Amino acid sequence: MKLAFISDIHGNALALDAVLKDIEQKEIDKIFVLGDLCFRGPEPKRSLELVKSLDTDVIKGNADEWVVRGVQNDEVPVQAFEIMNKERDWTYSKLSSNSIDYLSQLPTELNLEYSNFKIHAFHATPLSLFDVVQPHEHDEAVEEKLMQRDADLYIYGHIHKAYIRYIEGKCIVNTGSVGLPFDGLSMASYVVVDVDKDSFQVSIVRVDYNENDVIGQFKNTYYPNINTMEKILINAGV
């Protein structure tokens, strides 16, 4: 059984197109989506439509919550508060009321079991859509923040930095980001889990796409924070 976990699309439908094509070529059996579908990209509507067309399990991310109710003061740096709410309002204006309802009603975690292997998937942590757990954190912090349920494999998104790590025989994986990687490599990122009867294998997949086309889309849609988004796309957040 081949499973794909994708996250943090952020309205970048061109990157999602490339990932879904790669998933199809790999003959993946099931796709799971771990949140942040629309916000901060030039194609929020099409990104959401692509996700919904997968007819699969989708959970909520912090950016989905922002689209629904706006960015609050204590959730972003003070200097970013005004512009991020302008970005949120632009995104909200591109979506139907049905789409907003869809985002608001998404669950916040997945508990899966394949061939006796348990997988716990969530966006940021099991208890929060906003907490940040970086790849370099101490084992004790990772255990406390991410490994609260009994599972063999823990998968999350949110930080836009793909990695695989093992603690006490348990596997912790970050998907990275489909639409806005922050690890210096401007390629879409997702995770494949290949589960067999007595084993599982986890791999991070990077997929190339043309980020300049996405930058062109931003400029053509009069997005409210084009310069910042252009820098993030070109430099992959570094």
Burial class (CB in 10 A: 0-12, 13-18, 19+), 158: buried
* Domains and their CATH numbers in the chain: 2-235 (3.60.21.10)
Per-residue pLDDT band at 237 (split at 50, 70, 90): confident
CA of residue 9 relative to chain centroid, distance: 5
Per-residue pLDDT band at 64 (split at 50, 70, 90): very high
pTM: 0.97
Q: Is the pLDDT of residue 209 over 90?
A: yes
Nearest Cα residue to 121 out of 146, 143, 103: 146
Q: 152-205 pLDDT, tens per residue?
A: 999 999 999 999 999 999 999 999 999 999 999 999 999 999 999 889 999 999
pLDDT value, residue 238? 77
Per-residue pLDDT band at 102 (split at 50, 70, 90): very high
Decide: 7 and 182 in contact? Cβ < 8 Å.
Answer: no
Q: 126-155 pLDDT, tens per residue?
A: 999 999 999 999 999 999 999 999 999 999
